[in-house]
Amino acid sequence: MNKKSLSIGKRSYFFSLGTLLALMIAAGILTLVLPAGSYDRLFVEGREMIVEGSFRYIDRPSYPPWLWFIAPFEVLAAPGAAVVWVIIIFLLFLGASFTVLLQSGMVERLMDRLITRFSDQKYRLLIAVSLFFMLFGATFGIFEELIILVPFCLILSRKMGWDSLVGLGMSLLSAGVGFGAAVFNPFTLGVAQKLADLPLYSATPYRIAIFITSALLLQFFLRRYAKRVERDPSRSLSYREDLELKEEPTLSYPPGIDRALKLFSLFLIVMVIILLGSFFVPALSDISFPLIAVLFLLGSVVSVLAARVMKAKSMGQALLSGLLGVAPAILLILMAMSIRQIAVRGGVMDTILYEAVSRLGMMSPQLALLWLWLFILVLNFFIGSGSAKAFLVLPLLLPIVDVTGLSRQLAVQAFLFGDGFSNLLYPTNAALMIGLGFSPVGYTRWLRFEIRLQLALAVLSLGWLYLGYYIGI
């Protein structure tokens, strides 16, 4: 029987820990350097919005440096803590259930079947998997929910002769690029166009062209790196980390393994239906993230017990092993989310917003377009949620955008670019840290892998923005 469990690489874990600690200290230093300020806020349909023209400087709050290091635990009780708890539960459920799938042999069996089917078409498989993730991000705005498939892609990539980074690229990176190249994403594009009083999903041909060019750029990047690793595995950026993984060369499958896979696939179909349904049913979208975690856990338990590929005691041990294996990642998530908490507690979050917005009105349309993209790009470091960010800052930005002469449609696109692609760039993004936590790859290694793509996406983004300006989008 397979004794593997889903766990976090020690080296990558401590690198990520050190990176986040440095960012927490940097955020704390901002609270000592910048003046404190505050906007008035109101809630519209349950969404927080800033009152335009309400900014004022305030006395600096008492926030001594030692409290910076308490911030990761404060987020558990701060406003919006429910989201933090859902993310933690999702992480634990996924770690437990995937370990059951590993130890039952179901993952290995699935990978063997895929390799047999696509052994002569491995790069077609790479393209197909990557486009699957991209399309879900671009059309349905689904990013975090796709994390359940990241461990599968990691194993598939290594089995195909590539490395863990290709596995992350075909899954996590692809979903993020699709999210940034939104075509029908209701959570960013839909919300932003609604706030800008634009027809819903207007300028779709323009955004389809953006999606196609983003997909081509991503495929070129992944294929080029995968071929490099295939020719010489030692050139892999995660070569040392992947060598430390204890892969069993052979695995004897227990009777009933194929039946277990069929049962589990039924749960996967239900999950896909929920993901698609959340696009049309707002109430379902609010609970889709925890619901998928529950279904994934339930599917793994039911499939291995019903097909009798594991005994109840062995399954219980696998669940516990999975929980313990991913539990250290909770600290990474709390530290990532504490950076905004430090800026808010120190009274400088609103100051950063005010200084950026006040400069926008004095710019030409061309410069305003660049500034708006950069502003959202930086703001995404502190506020990861695209829809929350849209409700918070677009009511402030759009009237000033009108003064500059820039079209609101392009302002929305600048918002999408600044918000979307950088989800894969910042360690403050909880979804990114969860995805990396399931691999032996640390944040610094991930950054080294993707930085060239991020620079190319930045050039692509600005190119599309200025093309849109000059053709009158």
**Predicted pLDDT at 223:** 95
Amino acid identity at 84: V
**Predicted pLDDT at 4:** 57
**Predicted pLDDT at 28:** 92
Number of residues that make up the chain: 473
Among the listed residues 174, 182, 176, 180, the one whose alpha carbon sits nearest the alpha carbon of residue 208: 182
**Predicted pLDDT at 1:** 41
**Predicted pLDDT at 47:** 67
Structural domain including 178 reads 27-58+67-471
pLDDT in tens, 93-148: 888 888 888 788 787 777 777 777 777 788 988 998 899 889 888 887 777 777 88
The domain tally of the chain equals 1
Distance CA 341, CA 354 (A): 18
pLDDT in tens, 431-458: 888 888 888 888 888 999 999 999 999 9
Taking CA atoms, 180 is separated from 55, 110, 174, 190, in Å, by 30, 31, 10, 13
**Predicted pLDDT at 103:** 82
DSSP lists the bridge partners of residue 37 as: 57
Determine, yes or no, domain membership for 12.
no
Q: In angstroms, how far is the first alpha carbon of the chain from the final one?
A: 59
**Predicted pLDDT at 222:** 95
Cα–chain center distance at 154: 16
CB count in 10 Å sphere of residue 190 = 18
Distance CA 442, CA 259 (A): 36
Query: For every one of its 473 residues, what pLDDT tens digit does the chain have, with 9 covering 90 and above?
Result: 444 555 566 666 777 788 888 988 998 999 999 999 988 887 766 667 777 778 899 988 988 999 999 999 998 888 778 878 888 888 888 888 888 887 887 877 777 777 777 777 889 889 988 998 898 888 877 777 778 888 888 888 888 889 999 999 999 999 889 988 988 887 788 888 888 888 878 888 999 999 999 999 999 999 999 999 999 989 988 888 888 775 544 455 667 788 888 888 898 888 878 877 776 776 776 677 788 888 888 988 888 888 888 888 888 888 888 888 888 888 888 888 888 889 889 988 888 888 877 777 778 888 888 988 998 888 888 877 777 778 777 877 887 788 788 888 998 999 899 888 888 888 888 788 888 888 888 888 899 999 999 999 999 999 999 999 999 88
Dihedral sign for Cα atoms in the order 443, 350, 343, 82: negative
Determine, yes or no, domain membership for 157.
yes
Determine, yes or no, domain membership for 397.
yes
Residue 138 token pair = 């671009």
**Predicted pLDDT at 252:** 55
User: For residue 466, which phi and psi values (nearest 5 degrees)?
Assistant: -75, -30
Determine, yes or no, domain membership for 98.
yes
Determine, yes or no, domain membership for 278.
yes
